[in-house]
Amino acid sequence: MKRIYELSVRGEFCAAHRLDGYPGDCSKIHGHNWEVTAFVECVDLDGLGMGVDFRELKGLLRQAIGEMDHVFLNDLAPFADQNPTAENIARHLYQVIGARLREKASGARVSRVRVAETPGAEVTYREEP
C-alpha cells in the first residue's frame, strides 16, 4: 500500500476585482476577503517525521497571496487576458505555489488549491498528476 500524506495551510488576502462581461453587479468594482487553502501531497517523511515543514508551506502561501493583497486584481499580469474569477485565481495560485515548491526539491507537490470569495462560495483547482 502506498502511503500519501496531504498537508494543508490556509491564508487570506483582501483584494478588489470586477468581471468584465458579467451580466450583473460583479461587473462593477467590488472587493472580497479571499480565503485560500493550499493542499500539498508527499509520500516521504524526513528524519523528523515531516513531509514538508508547515512553516515552509505557510511561507510559500504567504508569498503567493501577498502579491495579490490589497490590489485591484484586474491590474495584475496573470489576469491581463482573463477575469480574476475565483477559478482563475485558484489556478494561478496552484501554479505559483507549485513552481516554488518544486524549486525546493522536496519531492512534495501541490495537489489542489481552494479559493473562497465569500463564506459558502468556493472553488477547488487541481491537475491530474
Confidence band, pLDDT 50/70/90 cuts, at residue 107: confident
Provide the grid cell at 51.
513531509
Provide the grid cell at 110.
501541490
| Rg of the chain (C-alpha set) | 16
Beta-bridge mates of residue 91: none
The CA angle 46-90-96, to the nearest 5 degrees, is 55
pLDDT at position 97 over 70: yes
Confidence band, pLDDT 50/70/90 cuts, at residue 86: very high
Confidence band, pLDDT 50/70/90 cuts, at residue 105: low
pLDDT computed for residue 53 by the predictor: 94
CA distance 61 to 100: 10
| Number of domains, the chain | 1
Q: Which CATH number characterizes residue 86's domain?
A: 3.30.479.10
Residue-wise pLDDT tens digits, 25-45: 999 999 999 999 999 999 999
Question: Residue 43's domain spans which residues?
Answer: 5-125
Task: Cite the beta strand spans of the chain per DSSP E.
Answer: 5-17, 30-42, 109-118, 121-125
CA distance 36 to 39: 10
- What value does the mean pLDDT take over residues 108-121? 96
Mean of per-residue pLDDT scores for the chain = 95
